[in-house]
Amino acid sequence: MSGRNFLFVPGPTNVPDRILRAMHRAQEDHRSSAFPALTKGILGDLPKVFGTTKGQAFVLPASGTAMWETAIVNSLSPGDRVLAVRNGQFSHLFVDAAQRLGMQVDIIEVEWGAAISAAQIQSALEADKARAIKAVLVVHNETATGVTSDIAAVRAAMNAAKHAALLLVDGVSSIGSLEFKMDAWGVDFGIAGSQKGFMMPAGLGILCVGPKGLEAVKTATCPRAFFDLRDHITTNATGYFPYTPSLAHLYGLREALDMLLAEGMANVAARHKRLGEGVRRAVAAWKLEACAKDPSTQSDTVTAIVVPAGADAEQVRDIAFKKYNLALGAGLGPLRGRVFRIGHLGDLNELMLLGALAGTEMTLVDAGIPVTLGSGVAAAQAWYRSTAS
């Protein structure tokens, strides 16, 4: 098939040519005297993306999933009780990781498609008279349902309950795209990966730990080796890593940080909001439902779209892929076959998205779903025109 594959899954995202070129280089000695300049530059700039001046950044050759594990084993001790909210596949897997690592997890079940309820967190923490709960685990942007939750409200609920639990936040599909205010929201562990907002291939786990989190790293007694942040704290201080880093990824991350910081994080978030709104208007014009129940919680990085009863979202994805070279995101877990997703994060502009919306429209008609060709594209065009700078 000629032309580029239209990659509109919510990760991995499009890798800008600048980053591809930056990653394409010869290997070098990661113990040379020149190497610390690269490490220190990256670790110095990463906190800006997380919205913190007090946090310490870590980069591991791993993925977002591994950063759940890193955050858990570096902050907790075997058998600790934690509170987690489950409102989609990623929060489900975060819970699963905590359970497999030996934590007792109190789960607040929320309908998939709804956001986190801060009030429920507050009452669960208030009910914990013995202060046995050591951490609260939440996903900022539930990529499976296209729902963004209010982390400032979660922090306010924890404060209102006067509870000292740590706050562990998965921001894998939000950090680097959406507003993320680690200091203002009192996030103790902020979790990210390279292949979403950072516009890189998968392969890096990216973590930022606040002052209270860093204290917990010292006292947590979970066994840990590869993921032991204490080794990173020691070696990163001199500009090195405890083991061989992926040089290609580090050079890619350097370029990604240059791009994000040149645009400015507030502008990055505003761009995602504007692009995401175009997709939401297209979905409304198609008269289809978003999986996100409350419009004010709909994500600016991913839209999950429910197919009408009787239709198969996996068939929609397959038609898009085979006929139009367009990759749409799958429904995950219990949502498989019921929703497909359009990822709209990373290196993206209006015309790329309009192409994806046009391909999605053709696919929906091919799948026998009654949408009017051009309706969604027109709605998005009108929005992008009226808001163009």
Q: Which is nearer to ligand PLP, 199 or 377 (CB)?
A: 199
DSSP string, 296-351: GGB-SSEEEEEPPTT--HHHHHHHHHHHH-EEEBPP-GGGTTTEEEEE--SS--HH
Q: Name the amino acid, one letter, at 223.
A: P
**Smallest distance from ligand PLP to CB 373, Å:** 31
The angle, 0 to 180 degrees and rounded to 10, between the axes of the packed helices 247-263 and 265-285 is: 80
Q: Which is nearer to ligand PLP, 52 or 195 (CB)?
A: 195
**Smallest distance from ligand PLP to CB 202, Å:** 5
Q: Which is nearer to ligand PLP, 115 or 358 (CB)?
A: 115
Q: Which is nearer to ligand PLP, 327 or 379 (CB)?
A: 327
| Structure tokens belonging to residue 216 | 């917990």
- Measured CA to CA, the distance from residue 180 to residue 172 in angstroms comes to 11
Q: Which is nearer to ligand PLP, 65 or 375 (CB)?
A: 65
- Measured CA to CA, the distance from residue 62 to residue 227 in angstroms comes to 10
| Structure tokens belonging to residue 212 | 């209270």
Q: Which is nearer to ligand PLP, 190 or 193 (CB)?
A: 193
Nearest to 82, CA basis, from 59, 61, 63, 101: 101
Residue facing ligand PLP at closest CB distance: 64
**Smallest distance from ligand PLP to CB 285, Å:** 27
**Cα atoms in the Cβ-side hemisphere of radius 13 Å centred on 308:** 11
CB 290 within 8 A of CB 147: no
**Smallest distance from ligand PLP to CB 122, Å:** 23
**Smallest distance from ligand PLP to CB 112, Å:** 13
DSSP 137: E
**Smallest distance from ligand PLP to CB 317, Å:** 17
**Smallest distance from ligand PLP to CB 121, Å:** 18
CB 87 within 8 A of CB 141: no
Where along the sequence are the contacts to ligand PLP (CB under 6 A)? 11, 63-65, 90, 139, 143, 170, 172-173, 193, 202
- Measured CA to CA, the distance from residue 84 to residue 107 in angstroms comes to 5
Q: Which is nearer to ligand PLP, 342 or 364 (CB)?
A: 342
CB 343 within 8 A of CB 337: no
**Smallest distance from ligand PLP to CB 97, Å:** 10
Angle at 334 between CA 91 and CA 296, to 5 degrees: 60
Nearest to 358, CA basis, from 257, 278, 303, 244: 278
- Measured CA to CA, the distance from residue 96 to residue 141 in angstroms comes to 18
**Smallest distance from ligand PLP to CB 219, Å:** 26
- Measured CA to CA, the distance from residue 82 to residue 137 in angstroms comes to 7
**Smallest distance from ligand PLP to CB 64, Å:** 3
Q: Which is nearer to ligand PLP, 298 or 381 (CB)?
A: 298
- Measured CA to CA, the distance from residue 168 to residue 173 in angstroms comes to 15
CB 163 within 8 A of CB 125: yes
Q: Which is nearer to ligand PLP, 67 or 250 (CB)?
A: 67
Q: Which is nearer to ligand PLP, 63 or 235 (CB)?
A: 63
